[in-house]
């Protein structure tokens, strides 16, 4: 399927979504968010998509934020609908059973930072810049930034970042926990694809269950979270993949995963 504002291709099981509005630094308008939602829906059902990488077109931006020109005329009702749509799509992306990776190649500001934080793994180029500058517009983050940022970097650092509206370079983002690694710009996408391909080669059911246990456990007390882990661990022993994986190990051969 062809899109207007994003590019999407699948190679060796790795889907790559590229935000493709370089003239406006890949800013998120309603259509771009809807097209992201369509790709997420495909990833939910297409077993040929075993990992998903997000990046931005051009050298300057991953996503430089929401489209301010489009937002400037919104009513309260329209703004709520805009935020609700983005929240729903990012929550669905976060809940995907496959790994999602943000390859942040430039500005990841406002909504762009929020999209990156909804991914499982975030890698940044040396040119990347992160920020939640909504306060400069008399606004606050509206796509989950107040919550995901707090969970990634802690409450006081999230307060500093959101209340000052400051941008943070890639090394600082790594230090804070926003990015896992900082790479030369020319190596970023290849590295992200390689990580995606590595994870896509693992048992699909184990990847999905591990993600669910980690994400659901993160908001629970440790006893509840450990019980979630115990139940998930035990349930996997009824799966074909666990039987295949353990058998392949004993027989000293590569496993053939079924995803069930």
Q: Contact at 8 Å (CB) between 132 and 113?
A: yes
Which of 250, 242, 230 has the alpha carbon at shortest distance from 202? Answer: 242
Q: Is 175 annotated in the active site? A: no
- Out of 11, 84, 134, 187, the active site residue is 134
CA dist 62 and 201 (Å) reads 26
Q: Is 134 annotated in the active site? A: yes
Q: Which two tokens stand for residue 137?
A: 């517009």
CA atoms within 13 A on the CB side of 140: 10
- Out of 11, 94, 114, 244, the active site residue is 114
CA dist 260 and 237 (Å) reads 11
Q: Which two tokens stand for residue 50?
A: 């075993």
CA dist 45 and 176 (Å) reads 34
Q: Contact at 8 Å (CB) between 94 and 74?
A: no
CA dist 173 and 144 (Å) reads 18
Task: Report the length, in residues, of the chain.
Answer: 260
Catalytic residues: 114, 134
């Amino acid at each position: 399927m062809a899109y207007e504002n994003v590019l999407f291709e699948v190679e060796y099981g790795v889907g790559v979504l590229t935000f493709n509005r370089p003239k406006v630094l890949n800013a998120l308008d309603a259509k771009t968010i809807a097209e992201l939602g369509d790709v997420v829906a495909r990833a939910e059902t297409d077993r040929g998509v075993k990992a998903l990488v997000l990046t931005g077109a051009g050298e300057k931006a991953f996503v430089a934020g929401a489209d301010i020109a489009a937002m400037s005329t919104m009513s309260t009702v329209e703004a709520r609908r805009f935020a609700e749509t983005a929240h729903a799509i990012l929550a669905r992306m976060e809940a995907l059973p496959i790994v999602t990776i943000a390859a942040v190649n430039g500005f990841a500001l406002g909504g762009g930072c929020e999209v990156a934080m909804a991914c499982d793994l975030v890698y940044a180029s040396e040119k990347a810049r992160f920020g939640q500058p909504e306060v400069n517009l008399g606004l606050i983050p509206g796509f989950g930034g107040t919550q995901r940022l707090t969970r990634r970097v802690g409450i006081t650092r999230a307060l500093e970042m959101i209340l000052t509206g400051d941008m943070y370079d890639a090394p600082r983002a790594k230090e804070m926990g926003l990015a896992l690694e900082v790479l030369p710009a020319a190596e970023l996408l290849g590295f992200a694809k390689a990580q995606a391909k590595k994870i896509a080669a693992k048992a699909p059911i184990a990847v999905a269950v591990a993600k669910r246990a980690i994400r659901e456990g993160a908001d629970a007390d440790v006893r509840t979270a450990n019980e979630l882990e115990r139940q998930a661990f035990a349930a996997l022993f009824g799966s074909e993949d666990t039987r295949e994986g353990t058998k392949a190990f004993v027989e000293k051969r590569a496993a053939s995963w079924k995803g069930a």
